[in-house]
Amino acid sequence: MFPSNRDINLDEITKRCVMCGRCQAVCPVYASSSTEDNCARGKIRLIEKIKNNEYDFDDYIKGAINRCVACSACQDACKNDVNYIDLIAAGREMMNESAGEPLIKKLALSRFAERDETEQISRYGSVINKIFNRKDGAGSGIRLKFPIPGVGDGMYIPPLAESAFQEKQGGTHGAKNEWMRVVFFVGCSLSFILPEIAESILEFLVSSGITVIVPPDQVCCGTPHYLSGEPDTANRLLWKNRDAFAEYKADAVITGCPTCGGGLKDYYDLKDKDGKHLPVYDFVEFISKYRRKLKLPELSGDGKYTWHDPCHLYRLQKIKDEPREILRNLLSDRFVEMEKPASCCGFGGVFAASNIPTALDIAKKKSDRIKQSGAVTVVTACPGCVLFLRIGAAANTGTYNVIHLSQLLNSKFKI
Ligand code: SF4
Ligand code: SF4
C-alpha cells in the first residue's frame, strides 16, 4: 500500500537530517535556481516547521514544496538515510489537505485516475490533437489563435493516442513455442503518449516465445498520485490493478516504465489467478535476466549510441549495470557514455507541467552533455524520459534520436 502522512514518522525523518548539504550538490532543481528552498534540506526544514505549526502553507512554501522533480538523487547521496521521497509525498499531502492542489496538477492527475476517464482521453484525443498539435512554433497562427496558458517557447503538448493501448491490444497474445507467460503493465505514458513503445515491447516479447497478457481493465499505477500527495487515490488505483491482474495465470509482470515499475515493486503485491505472487520486472531487467533465451538482433552501421539512466530505474530500482551490459554486447565500441548519464532529464511527470522554465533548463543541460558525447542515438527505458529528452533536443538544436530500449531490439523499428 502507498503510505499516507499518518503512516509516516515525519519527526523521525526530519531529525535524521544534519544539514550536511550533500543533497544540494546533486539536486537538478538547485543547479537551475540556487536557493535553499530548492534542495532537499531546505524543503525538509520547511516541512518540519509546517508540522510544528510554525509556518502555514503560503504561496512561497507551496511553490517550494512543488519545485521538486522527485528524482531521488538527494536520497541516494544522503549518508544519514533521510527518506526524502516519503517526506515530500507526505508534505504535499499535508499541503493538499490544507490548501488544495494547483489546478494544472489536479487536471493532469485526475485525467489518469479512472478507467472511464482514460477512455475519455482516447475519445477526445483526436480533437485535442487537431487544436494543439497542428503546428509547433512560437509564431504559428494556431498558437496566436489559441494561446495555451503557461506553455512557452520550447515546450509542446505531445499528441495523444486516439485509443489507449490496452483498449486496442487488451487480451492474451499467444506466442509460438511459449516458454513464459507475462502480464504487461502498460502505464499511462505508454497507453496514451507513446503507444508505439508499448507495441514494440509486445511484439518483441511475443516473437521471443513469451505469451503476453494485456489486462484491458488496468489503470494508472498510482505512483504520480502518491508523489503528488494523493495516497488515497493511489491506493484506489492499486486495488483496481490488483483485481485486474488477478484474473490471469502468469509467471511475472513486465513494465516498460520505471515509475510504474518502482511503484509496483515498492507498494504492490500483485498475485495471479492462483494467488501466486507475481515478480515485477522492468523491461531492461527482464532482457538482462533472460538474454540467453531471447532473440537479440545484430546491429550493423556506424553511428554511436549512448544511454540515459531514468531516475526511477537507476535510483529507485538500482538497475545500473544491466543496460550497459546489454548495449556493449549489441554495439561494442559504438556504445559511448555521456557525462552524468544518471542526471535527471527534467520531466518528473507533473513537475514539467507546473515548472516549465526549470524543467526546460534541466533538459537543455542534459542535451548539451548528449551532444558532447557524439552519439546520434540516445537509448533509455522510460517513456517520460523519451518524451522529455526529445523536447530537450528540440529546444537545444540537438540532432540525435531518442528511443526506448525495446525499439532498439525490435527489428521492425528502423534506426
Ligand atoms: S544529505 Fe541528508 S543529511 Fe545531508 S542535508 Fe541532505 S538530507 Fe540532510
Ligand atoms: S528529489 Fe531530486 S529534485 Fe527533489 S530535492 Fe531531491 S535531488 Fe532535488
pLDDT for 115: 54
Residue 19 Cβ contacting ligand 1 at under 6 Å: yes
User: Does residue 131 lie within any of the structural domains?
Assistant: yes
Question: Can you give the CATH number for the domain in which 330 is found?
Answer: 3.40.50
Asked whether residue 209 falls in the same domain as residue 116, the answer is no
pLDDT for 321: 98
Question: Can you give the CATH number for the domain in which 191 is found?
Answer: 3.40.50.1860
User: How far is Cα 373 from Cα 406, in angstroms, rounded to an integer?
Assistant: 22
Asked whether residue 175 falls in the same domain as residue 285, the answer is yes
pLDDT for 141: 40
Domain tally, the chain? 4
What is the position in ligand 2's atom list of the atom closest to the CA of 69? 3
Asked whether residue 273 falls in the same domain as residue 334, the answer is no
CB neighbourhood size of 206 (10 A): 16
Are 175 and 206 spatial neighbours (Cβ–Cβ below 8 Å)? yes
Asked whether residue 94 falls in the same domain as residue 117, the answer is no
Asked whether residue 64 falls in the same domain as residue 127, the answer is no
Are 209 and 93 spatial neighbours (Cβ–Cβ below 8 Å)? no
What is the position in ligand 1's atom list of the atom closest to the CA of 77? 1
User: How far is Cα 176 from Cα 179, in angstroms, rounded to an integer?
Assistant: 9
Tell me: the pLDDT tens digits for 17-43?
999 999 999 999 999 988 999 999 999
Asked whether residue 248 falls in the same domain as residue 330, the answer is no
User: Does residue 153 lie within any of the structural domains?
Assistant: no
Q: pTM of the full predicted structure?
A: 0.91
| 3-class DSSP string for 190-232 | HHHHCHHHHHHHHHHHHHCCEEEEECCCCCCCCHHHHHCCCHH
Q: What residue owns the CA closest to ligand 2's atom 1?
A: 70
Asked whether residue 22 falls in the same domain as residue 118, the answer is no
> How many Å lie between the centroid of ligand 1 and the Cα of residue 27?
11
Asked whether residue 198 falls in the same domain as residue 118, the answer is no
Asked whether residue 114 falls in the same domain as residue 190, the answer is no
Which residue, of 264, 289, 314, is where some domain finishes?
Answer: 289
Q: Tell me which residue range forms the domain holding 132.
A: 106-145
- pLDDT tens over the chain, length 415 residues: 999 988 999 999 999 999 999 999 999 999 998 899 999 999 999 999 999 999 999 999 999 999 999 999 999 999 999 999 999 999 999 999 987 666 555 555 555 555 555 555 555 555 555 555 544 444 444 443 344 444 555 566 667 787 889 989 999 999 999 999 999 999 999 998 899 999 999 999 999 999 999 999 999 999 999 999 999 999 999 999 999 999 999 999 999 999 999 999 999 999 999 999 999 999 999 999 999 999 899 888 889 999 999 999 999 999 999 999 999 999 999 999 999 999 999 998 888 888 888 999 999 999 999 999 999 999 999 999 999 999 888 888 878 999 999 999 986 655 5
Asked whether residue 320 falls in the same domain as residue 359, the answer is yes
Which ligand neighbours the alpha carbon of 43 most closely?
2
Which residue, chain included where needed, has cell 500527495? 229
User: Does residue 151 lie within any of the structural domains?
Assistant: no
Residue 46 Cβ contacting ligand 2 at under 6 Å: no
Residue 69 Cβ contacting ligand 2 at under 6 Å: yes
User: How far is Cα 196 from Cα 128, in angstroms, rounded to an integer?
Assistant: 19
Mutate to test the pocket of ligand 2, among 71, 84, 366 (most ligand atoms within 8 A of CB): 71
> How many Å lie between the centroid of ligand 1 and the Cα of residue 182?
40
Provide the sign of the torsion angle of the four alpha carbons 343, 186, 112, 99, taken in this order. Answer: negative
What is the position in ligand 1's atom list of the atom closest to the CA of 39? 6
Question: Can you give the CATH number for the domain in which 76 is found?
Answer: 1.10.1060.10
> How many Å lie between the centroid of ligand 2 and the Cα of residue 39?
6
Asked whether residue 172 falls in the same domain as residue 285, the answer is yes
Tell me: the pLDDT tens digits for 299-312?
888 899 999 999 99
Q: What residue owns the CA closest to ligand 1's atom 6?
A: 23
User: Does residue 192 lie within any of the structural domains?
Assistant: yes
Residue 74 Cβ contacting ligand 2 at under 6 Å: yes
Are 179 and 252 spatial neighbours (Cβ–Cβ below 8 Å)? no
User: How far is Cα 12 from Cα 46, in angstroms, rounded to an integer?
Assistant: 15
Q: What residue owns the CA closest to ligand 1's atom 2?
A: 78
User: Does residue 158 lie within any of the structural domains?
Assistant: no
What does DSSP say about strands 210-214 and 305-307: parallel, antiparallel, or unpaired? Answer: unpaired
Element (H, E) at 84: helix 84-99
User: Does residue 341 lie within any of the structural domains?
Assistant: yes
Asked whether residue 132 falls in the same domain as residue 169, the answer is no
Tell me: the pLDDT tens digits for 41-100?
999 999 999 999 999 999 999 999 999 999 999 999 999 999 999 999 999 999 999 876
Are 385 and 347 spatial neighbours (Cβ–Cβ below 8 Å)? yes
Residue 25 Cβ contacting ligand 1 at under 6 Å: no
User: Does residue 300 lie within any of the structural domains?
Assistant: no
